[in-house]
Structure 1
Amino acid sequence: MTPYDASSPQAAKAGAPALIDGFGRTVSYLRVSVTDRCDLRCVYCMAEHMTFLPKAEVLTLEELDRIASAFVSLGVRKLRITGGEPLVRKGVMGLVEALSRHLKSGALDELTLTTNGTRLGEFAGRLADLGVQRVNVSLDTLKPDLFRRLTRGGDLSKVLDGIAAAKAAGLAVKINAVALKTDNAAELPHLIAWAHGQGLDMTLIETMPLGEVEADRTDQFLSLRDLRRDLESFWTLEDLPLNTGGPARYARIAETGGRLGFITPLSHNFCEACNRVRLTCTGTLHTCLGREDASDLRAVIRSGADDEGLVQAIRWAVDAKPEGHDFQIARAAPAVARHMSTTGG
């Protein structure tokens, strides 16, 4: 499988208009999952005994490059590498290196990564060398015992060492924490203060009804609207016009000097300005995180489609992007059956 040739006549022809969905939103952000596998088993993300995909169903790194590059030719300006845990994928740095050519050409504004941090110490320097300027690290607690329980066996020290290595390599680090009512709610102010004390941005995320897990999400759900009200009882939060291309709304905390983001798919959805789509490691394109929409780009490229055929398939999929997601935490069944690790974080 050859990489997408952005200089081909098909690409030049197809790449002229931007990717615009049926509701007039321009898609400029692609999240690319490189694996459904992870070295942690977070209770809100995965079942304890996951069945992972067979290798034949997972796109090769060359196929991932080809599809992501086709999106770049169509005006996508930001790529985020995700998983599962992307750094457990063998050879993943080769993909990062291949995609970094779009940074050098100016076709891409940003190439970023979301990680659990366990292997960040090993790869931080190389990521920085390849033009990655910032990473998101998922971290829900600073308590080793609670971290071990929430991740089903994870070692907090590896994550903290990875964050330190990323900072030393010159990467900007943002901490992502899922707000869990019965687990880390009381600790969140301390976690925020710690992150800001380290010079790191912080984003809080409401738990989302994706995939069947053992935990009861009704018990876990913590409204960030309510949490913000609690934070404002002792901190001063000033809303910011900052837009990093994602769904977070940001505020600055006067007392810490740091930025705090809120991702609120349930208490306040963000669909009206959605600019992103997700490619799974199997080549399935999801244009909405909370809908069972799917376009099989693996079938397109493995059937021998040329670049023009791939671009047309992408356009058809984006044109059908739903107006909004349908998350309701109180439902007995999740909004979608697929796990977040399969969709791509």
Structure 2
Amino acid sequence: MTGLITAGILVLALLHAAQSVFVPFAFSMLVIALIWPVQAALQTVMPRLLALLIALTVTIIAVVSVGSSIAWGLGVLGHWLFLNAGRFQTIYLDWAQWLEEHGVAVAGPLAERFNVGALVGLLQGVAGRMNSFAGFTLVIFISVMLGLLEVEDVKRRLLLPSVQPHGARILAANRRIGAKLRRFMAVRTFASILTGLVVWIFARFVGLELAAAWGAIAFALNYIPFLGPFVATVFPTMFAIAQFDSWQSAVFVFVGLNLIQFVIGSYLEPRLTGASLAISPFAVIFSVFFWSFMWGLPGAFIGVPILICLIEYAAQVPATRWIAVLLSSTVNDEAVAALDRRDRT
């Protein structure tokens, strides 16, 4: 047991230290799982390389759309912040003074940190991250291209008699993972688009400035369960405090945005996803925060797909099936019994 714990710690340390290698690899595997059916369908009516080119084009459009939406939203937000820095500093210092009068001493630290210099630094940080995102996307693009060319070869190798029964199990798990990931991303994309539109409409309705930017940010961050919607709710609320200079209006904005996130994320998404992706909410939260700690913002995006892979691979082996059961929100006794019968035969 001690050896297993030590090995696990070393593996996690390696994943964290070599994240520049493992993060693009993880994203590439996700993209390949999502677009391989598109390429496979196209290959039946056109040459393989042309099908690959079309599949890669679709991937680039999807990735650029999500990345551009959050980059544009943050860019508009940063520009507006820069132009209104003095106004924001005055309003928040007034609030800090009110808190200080009621026994909460925050005026000093707030005055030191909330200034134009801090805002300029924030803009520079965002610009730097956008530049690194471009390079990150290029690495993923090359990895996906090479991976798509090898999918059929890997499948044939997994079917060889010399790698059985492990090859058949891996192949079956990959099929189920691909189906679950495509369903998860399809539902998540629909929910993200709907969330962005509703947030934009709500922001315009209440008169909140930068309504389009808030909608774009809500759309992009909705791909991160729990953490993304929370950030997309807190930021507009903070701006509502400064814009309206009224805590009642800020509370109304906060409640309205949370209601939107609750209805779409907690009611609509589970109904669209169905029982096939029944994962424990605690496991989802832990996965998002754990992979955020390991790999930063990319880890937050990829956390749930990694969890889906872990559950499916664990379900294929009797010795680790208990892990899949614990990480699921529902227990399908018939499915577990079927897997047990298959293992015995």
* TM class by smaller structure: under 0.3
TM-score (norm 1): 0.28
- Which has the higher Rg, Structure 1 or Structure 2? 2
TM-score (norm 2): 0.28
Q: Which of the pair is proportionally richer in helix?
A: 2
Higher relative contact order (CA 8 A, sep 6+): 1
